[in-house]
Every structure is written in structure tokens, then in C-alpha cells.
Amino acid sequence: MRLNEEERAMLAGELGIGAKLAISHQISVGEFFGAQDFVPITQAHIMADTESLGQAGVMWLEKLAEGDGGRCRVRVPTITDPRGTDFSKSDILGQADWMLHLERRAIDAFVKLGVSMTDTCINYQTVLSATRGEHVAFGDTGVVIYSNSVNGALSNFEGGPSALAAGLTGRTPRYGFHLPEQRQSTLRIRVDWTPRTLNEWGALGGVVGRLAGNYWQVPVLEGIDAAPGSDALKHFGAAMASFGSIALYHIVGITPEAARLEDVNVHNLSVSHRIGKQDLDALQASYAQQDKVDVVVFSAPQLSLYELRSIAELSQGRRFKVPLLAITSPQVKPDADRFGYTETIEAAGGTVMSGMCFYQSYAREISEAKGWKYLATNSAKLVNILGGYGYVPRLASMEACVAAAEEGRLT
């Protein structure tokens, strides 16, 4: 890779051991993907849950934080994905003390490195949304696909070490979705029915993700007949990334790079797939294996203030038989408290949690500790993941999930 003067200084160790380790890692990644040089970035976002990091990962972070006499720090604003717990509610999840201790060690190390512990996968709704043409280094797949597709920013999926390295150097290898040619569509899809609810948008994302099937595919969708809101696009992209590892999509007339089909269809692709309501119904029905519900979870992605408002409205006058967990970001939670949404949900027997995400919080151990197996959610991303943690999940509307918490079954 071509290095400029500052990058050569980093590699030589002249700017500290942290920068040297970081750029050495980035050069290896860049050479693997055929990057010719680096591109400066404005911000980074790190996957930071300790279930992923493990003991070894936390020890590595601690060693890095002590580098350069404790002066090793990020060079651009660097934030974090959800933690593995809400410390104030860990007893509700049955989490062990060792899990909490590991979380605190990781937080201490990140703070020493200058990382802002935002603990959110919806930074585009809460912290600072990346803008069109802005090069960033984001880790969470839902964050990347939303930022690339809806905001028109430029990012690859950055693994934890790569995202932290980008924060420490202020740059990332120029490959993949940092290149204009990689952002052109590779798959043209016609949608014959526009979703209305969040679970339907997630189901559509899951169907598209399965059709696309790999990271380098860029679907372009035609036929969406109404502009979806931020929460709809959040669920749509998160599911697409989960089911198909997709990092970028276009919707003609809606997303910023696809004002017209020809803007992203330089290869003159013809429609290769048509998706109708029956396809969305089939995906949702594939998870309809039982009526029993042990727990209702609204998570993955974290909830916006408007989603919490809707859950609060649905919770009024109810009393839940099974736990209902509504999981949001630390930026949204104070407003939910202030507007009374938290109080309303918890008066019905639910719990509003902050700064975590359910599947990143030792979900298998939670299942064993609490006896939870049958789970209802309106997140297509969550149902796609939780089968691997021993759950039997159901995908349903928000209204049906809240009713299931009251009745203990999903009809």
C-alpha cells in the first residue's frame, strides 16, 4: 500500500506503539483486500460487547490502553456498540457476576483509550448521523447498512480490531464500499407489495438478504410505493445484513444514491427477482412453530423514542404474564423516562433496558438461567440470530407481541 508521510511515521513507531500496532493491522487488512492506499475517516464505531471480546479480548484492550505510558488514545471520535448488560437491570436477566466484572474491565480500557461509551447500535438516530460522501469506519452491521444506504456515507463492515485501529489512526484502507464502483447495483429486484409494519419491513429485508446472499452484492429495489420512515429502514437494513451480510442497498427514488434507476444500474441489469406479500408471509410463517411465549423482546436494533412510545400506548391497561423487555439506547432512555413511556411499560410488568442488545448479552446463558425458550419479537434480525442460542423465536407485529406478553401465547 502507498503510505503518506504521517502513515510512514506511524508504522515506524514515531507516533507511539498504539498507532504502530493499529496501522500494521490495517496494512494487513488493506493488502488482503487489494487496497492501494488509505482514506481519512471522520468517525469510528466499535463492536464492544464482552461476549464477543471474551477474556482474551479484554486483556488485549487493557494492554493497549496501557501503551505509550497510558497515552494511547483515538485520533477521531470513536463510539461503541451496545454493551453486554444494563448494570441496573442485570438481575432481571440472571447474568453472573463474572459477566459484569468483564464488562467493567472493558469499559475502563475503552475509556482510557478515549473511546466514548455510547453503547448504541442506532447512532444514526441518536448520536451523529454520517452524511453523504463521509468516509467512516463502522462495525455494527445494522449501522453500516443504514449509514451506507440511507445516509450515503461510505463504510465497510469493520471488525472490532479494525474499527479500533481506524479510531487510533484516523483512516481506513480504501477498498470495498469506499470505492464508487463497488457501490453500483449488482442485483435488481421488483417489490410488488410495500410493507406497512416494522416486522414486515424486517421480513422484506430478510427475503432480499437471502436472495442476495453475500457481502459484495448490492441490491436495488423498485416498486416501493411509499417513503418508509427511519424505523422501517432500520429494521429493513438490519434484517438484510443479518440474513445476507449485505452492507449497501438502493431503493429507487428513496435512497440518496438512487434518485433514478440508471444512477446505480450502470450494468443495465434486468429484474432478476420479484417479491410479493406471499414471500414476506412465508418468511414469517417459517418461524411460527408454537403458540407458547416465555418472553417478549423488543431489541436488535435498539428502540427509537417513537417505538417506545408505541409500546407504551399498547401497554396501557394491560398486565403482563410473561416478561416484556424493551431495549433502547442510553441517549433515548432519559427521554423515555421524561415522557412517561418507561413508567407506563413497567407499570404493566415490562422492563425498559438501556445500553445493551439482547443477543449480545449472553443470550444462551440467560435462557438457561431464566428458563426462557419460546420468544416473541417484531425484529426479523433477532429471530434470525436467536435460533443459534437455543431459542424458538416467533416474528410478529408489535401489537401481537405486546398482546402475547399479556396472554402468555401468540395467536
Residues 43-102: tens digit of each pLDDT: 999 998 899 899 999 999 999 999 888 899 999 999 999 999 999 999 999 999 999 999
Q: Which of 280, 268, 68, 266 is nearest to 191 (CA)?
A: 280
Same domain, 157 and 42: yes
Same domain, 388 and 278: no
Instruction: Give how many domains the chain has, as a whole number.
Output: 3
Torsion of the alpha carbons at 252, 257, 260 and 265, rounded to the nearest 10: -90
Q: Are 79 and 196 in a shared domain?
A: no
Q: Please check whether residues 363 and 267 belong to one and the same domain.
A: no
Quote the radius of gyration of the chain (alpha carbons, Å): 21
Are 119 and 225 part of one and the same domain? no
Distance CA 241, CA 61 (A): 27
Give the pairing type, strands 324-328 and 351-354.
Answer: parallel
End residue of a domain, out of 254, 284, 314: 284
Task: Report the candidate in 401, 240, 407 with the shortest Cα–Cα distance to residue 325.
Answer: 401
Domain boundary among 257, 284, 311: 284
230 lies in the same domain as 108: no
Range of the domain at 208: 184-284
What CATH number is associated with residue 362? 3.30.499.10
Task: Say yes or no: 279 and 292 in one domain.
Answer: no
Name the residue with cell 417478549: 296
- Domain end, chosen from 156, 180, 204, is at 180
275 φ, ψ (degrees, to nearest 5)? -120, 125
Same domain? 213 vs 313 = no
Q: Is the same domain home to 322 and 389? A: yes
Nearest to 389 by CA among 300, 280, 322: 300
Nearest CA to 61 among 6, 27, 24, 102? 102
**175/192 same-domain check:** no
Helices (H), 288-379: 305-315, 333-338, 341-347, 363-370
Distance separating alpha carbons of residues 45 and 116, to the nearest angstrom: 10
pLDDT in tens, the chain (411 residues): 999 999 999 999 999 999 999 999 999 999 999 999 999 999 999 998 899 899 999 999 999 999 888 899 999 999 999 999 999 999 999 999 999 999 999 999 999 999 999 999 999 999 999 999 999 999 999 999 999 999 999 999 999 999 999 999 999 999 999 999 999 999 999 999 999 999 999 999 999 999 999 999 999 999 999 999 999 999 999 999 999 999 999 999 999 999 999 999 998 999 999 999 999 999 999 998 789 999 999 999 999 999 999 999 999 999 999 999 999 999 999 999 999 999 999 999 999 999 999 999 999 999 999 999 999 999 999 999 999 999 999 999 999 999 999 999 998
CB 385 within 8 A of CB 361: no
Cα–Cα distance for residue pair 79/136, rounded to 1 Å: 12
